[in-house]
Amino acid sequence: MLRVFRHYIPKYFVFLGLVEAALFFVSIYLGVALRFWGEEELPPGIEPIFFKATLFMLLMVSINTAMGLYQRQLREGFSGMLLRLGAGFLLGFALMSLIFYAFPSMFLGRGAFGIALFFAFICVVAARAIFFKLVDQDALQRRVLVLGAGARAKSINERLRRKLDRRGFVVVGYVSMGGEELVERSNIIHADTTLLEISKRYDAHEIVEALDDRRKAFPVHEILDCRMSGIEVIDLLTFFERQRGKVMLDIMHPSWMVFSDGFRFGAFRVYSKRVIDIVAALLLLAVTWPIMLLTALAILFEDSGPIFYRQVRVGQNWKLFQVIKFRSMRVDAEAQDGAQWALENDNRITRVGDFIRKVRIDELPQIFNVLKGEMSFVGPRPERPEFVEQLSASIPYYAERHRVKPGITGWAQICYPYGASEQDSYEKLQYDLYYVKNYSLLLDLMIVFQTSPVIFWRQGSR
């Protein structure tokens, strides 16, 4: 994987994005060439083609990103991918049509654009079919040698069971260093020679240290020999952070939090994030105010109750603030039982509330929290003080998620469904800590793009 600003990006998705960008670019030239085949000159207004091809390329790659087609968490089959591609191309057609109408100088011609769109769709589908077949070939994957054969080594098989989870690497074996052996015997390699010789024998590109007890069996000099010979060496927690995009709490030592890279909050990052928050919030408000107005009228019409719902949440550095949302529940929703998690098919939710929750419209008033500086556009989900107190007592490191401002969307929100229990909060915390550790403007931008499929495909709404 590539690591850009501390965030791990699969190399194969970068390559796929570049291939598809080239196909989108070339498709415009092909559309024009086929449409005006045999004519001595192109009609006025068609040239220059370069800028139109570049616009189409950037727009379609952005739409594919928004449709979740470059997500490593995407577990849908080929039919699901086709559905997302089809929706993306329909959206691309609509947006390009609007651009042609608003800027006549960008007009390409209906015939030429139609041919280009058809060619691009066919080629992208074919490219994805070929690409994902090739990327799963063992010969093209990173060869990983695991140092250890006990409980920590076994966790690799337990937590990376799916073929999708193992895309990009293959475990060539587990080197037993004595002690309990819990992985399959057929995968165990007994150390009959040096670790470097074993690595060369199995053509390993990387060694993952997964010993249950480093104090008894850690081969310092052999690992150093491998590292100085060009073989990458990482620990198990970093391996899972890279492959899963989260920090595994149950195998984490406090020293890892102290000595690992990340958790940097310089002045430039703070101020640049604030500027981007304000710009993004104003743009979103400019686009969504008609939807917000209609939502307010629908809530008012349904039961004549308050339009907005204010609730105390925990913000950055544990400061309390009032989050603003469209009211989606009955006015007396917590009159009897007090604070509680939202449940699936919750009878406290109104009919209007059920719809606006599914498409996340109820979150839009949080734009005003962002403008006030209480929230960020991207960050961990803000929780209620009652839940924070309860979860901080039972989940280690839970309080650390409040080192940054909470957000309207976030890494945990796009990687994990709606949390409605202590176990869900534990799982989401692992993604929140990954965000806090590896925060960058690039990661924020990726999260914003990947929030779209969460809304379009109703992932995790409740």
What letter would DSSP give residue 397?
A: T
Q: How many residues does the chain have?
A: 462
Are 363 and 407 spatial neighbours (Cβ–Cβ below 8 Å)?
Answer: no
Single-letter residue type at 371: L
Q: How far apart are CA 328 and CA 352, in angstroms?
A: 7
Q: How far apart are CA 14 and CA 120, in angstroms?
A: 18
Q: How far apart are CA 420 and CA 334, in angstroms?
A: 16
Write down the mean pLDDT value for the chain: 85
Are 89 and 117 spatial neighbours (Cβ–Cβ below 8 Å)?
Answer: yes
Q: Shortest CA distance to 358 belongs to which of 368, 370, 347, 344?
A: 344
pTM of the model: 0.80
- Kindly write down the DSSP assignment for every residue of 248-293, as one continuous string: -GGG--HHHHHHSS-----HHHHHHHHHHHHHHHHHHHHHHHHHHH
Residue 293 has pLDDT above 70, yes or no: yes
- Pairing mode, if any, of strands 142-147 and 206-209? parallel
User: Rg for the chain (alpha carbons), in Å?
Assistant: 26
pLDDT of residue 1: 65
Query: In this structure, what token pair is assigned to residue 403?
Result: 């080192």
Vertex 348 angle, CA 345 and 349, to 5°: 65
Query: In this structure, what token pair is assigned to residue 110?
Result: 């209906």
Strands (E), 20-159: 142-147
Tell me the longest C-alpha to C-alpha distance in the chain. Answer: 80
Domain covering 139-244 in this structure, CATH number: 3.40.50.720
Residue 34 has pLDDT above 60, yes or no: yes
Average of per-residue pLDDT across 28-53: 85
Q: Shortest CA distance to 153 belongs to which of 236, 240, 38?
A: 236
Q: How far apart are CA 76 and CA 339, in angstroms?
A: 36
Using N-to-C axis directions, what is the helix angle for 49-66 and 11-35, rounded to 10°? 140
Task: Give the burial string for 342-375 (b: 16+ CB within 10 Å, else e).
Answer: eeeebeebbebbeebbeebbbbbbbbebbeeebb
Average of per-residue pLDDT across 112-140: 85
Q: How far apart are CA 398 and CA 412, in angstroms?
A: 14
* Confidence category of residue 338, pLDDT binned at 50, 70, 90: low
Query: In this structure, what token pair is assigned to residue 42?
Result: 């192109």
Backbone angles phi, psi at 420, to 5 degrees: -135, 30
Of 67-76, 106-115, 117-126, 159-168, highest mean pLDDT: 117-126
Q: How far apart are CA 409 and CA 420, in angstroms?
A: 17
Tally of CA atoms within 13 A in the half-sphere of 419 that contains its CB? 23
pLDDT of residue 336: 57
pLDDT of residue 423: 85
Share of residues in the chain with pLDDT > 70 (%): 90
Q: How far apart are CA 355 and CA 54, in angstroms?
A: 38
Vertex 445 angle, CA 444 and 447, to 5°: 65
Contacts of range 243-246, beta carbons closer than 8 Å, 24 or more positions apart: 243/160, 243/165, 243/169, 244/159, 244/160, 244/165, 245/8, 245/72, 245/73, 245/411, 245/415, 245/431, 245/434, 246/415, 246/430, 246/431, 246/433, 246/434
Task: Look at residue 252 and give its three-state secondary structure.
Answer: coil
* Confidence category of residue 110, pLDDT binned at 50, 70, 90: confident
Q: How far apart are CA 27 and CA 87, in angstroms?
A: 19
Q: How far apart are CA 1 and CA 245, in angstroms?
A: 12
pLDDT of residue 333: 61
- The residue extents of the domains of the chain are 2-135, 139-244, 267-331+345-456
* Confidence category of residue 175, pLDDT binned at 50, 70, 90: very high
Query: In this structure, what token pair is assigned to residue 101?
Result: 């109408």
* Confidence category of residue 407, pLDDT binned at 50, 70, 90: very high
Least confident range from 160-174, 378-392, 400-414: namely: 160-174
Q: Which residue has the higher pLDDT, 76 or 66?
A: 66
Strands (E), 202-299: 206-209, 232-235
Contacts of residue 419, Cβ cutoff 8 Å, sequence gap at least 6 = 341, 381, 425, 427, 428
Are 349 and 328 spatial neighbours (Cβ–Cβ below 8 Å)?
Answer: yes
Bond prior to 48 in cis (omega within 30° of 0) = yes
Average of per-residue pLDDT across 277-306: 89
